[in-house]
Copies of this chain bind each other. A is one copy, B any other.
Amino acid sequence: MPEPTKAEYIVGVDLGGTKIMAGVFDARFQCVSRNKISTKPERGAEAIVKRIVRCVQDAVDEYDLSLKQIRGVGVGAPGAVDPDTGRVLFAPNLNWTNFPLKKALEKELTIPVFVENDCNASMLAVYEKELPSKPRHAIGIFVGTGIGGGIILDGKLYSGFNRTAGEIGHMVIEVGGPKCNCGNRGCFEALASRTAIFRKITSAVKDGQKTLLTEMLGGDLRELRSGDLRKAIRKGDKFVEKVVEEAAEYIGIGVANLINVFNPEVVALGGGVIDALEDEMMAIIVATAEDYALNGTMNGIQIVASKAADDACITGAAVLAHKMTKS
Number of copies: 2
Contact of A161 among B90, B136, B184 (CB under 8 A): B136
A295: chain B residues within 8 A (beta carbon)? 90, 92, 182
Contact of A297 among B164, B256, B257 (CB under 8 A): B164
Contact of A167 among B182, B294, B300 (CB under 8 A): B294
A173: chain B residues within 8 A (beta carbon)? 172-175
Asked if A154 CB lies within 8 Å of chain B CBs, one says yes
Asked if A1 CB lies within 8 Å of chain B CBs, one says no
A136: chain B residues within 8 A (beta carbon)? 161
Q: Does the CB pair A261–B171 fall under 8 Å?
A: yes
Q: How far is the CB of A184 from chain B (nearest CB, A)?
A: 6
CB-nearest residue of chain B to A135: B161
CA distance A89 to B153 in the complex (A): 22
Q: Does the CB pair A261–B167 fall under 8 Å?
A: yes
A92, A154, A263, A301, most chain B CB atoms within 10 A: A263
Asked if A159 CB lies within 8 Å of chain B CBs, one says yes
CA distance A260 to B80 in the complex (A): 12
CA distance A297 to B177 in the complex (A): 22
Q: Does the CB pair A161–B261 fall under 8 Å?
A: no
A4: chain B residues within 8 A (beta carbon)? none
Within 8 A of B (CB), among A68-119: 79-80, 89-90, 92
A165: chain B residues within 8 A (beta carbon)? 261-263
Q: Does the CB pair A162–B300 fall under 8 Å?
A: yes
Q: Does the CB pair A170–B263 fall under 8 Å?
A: no
Asked if A160 CB lies within 8 Å of chain B CBs, one says yes
CA distance A299 to B160 in the complex (A): 12
Contact of A153 among B90, B153, B250 (CB under 8 A): B153
Within 8 A of B (CB), among A241-286: 250, 253, 256-258, 260-265
With contacts A160-B263, A162-B297 known, what are 4 further pairs, Cβ within 8 A?
A161-B264, A170-B292, A171-B260, A172-B256
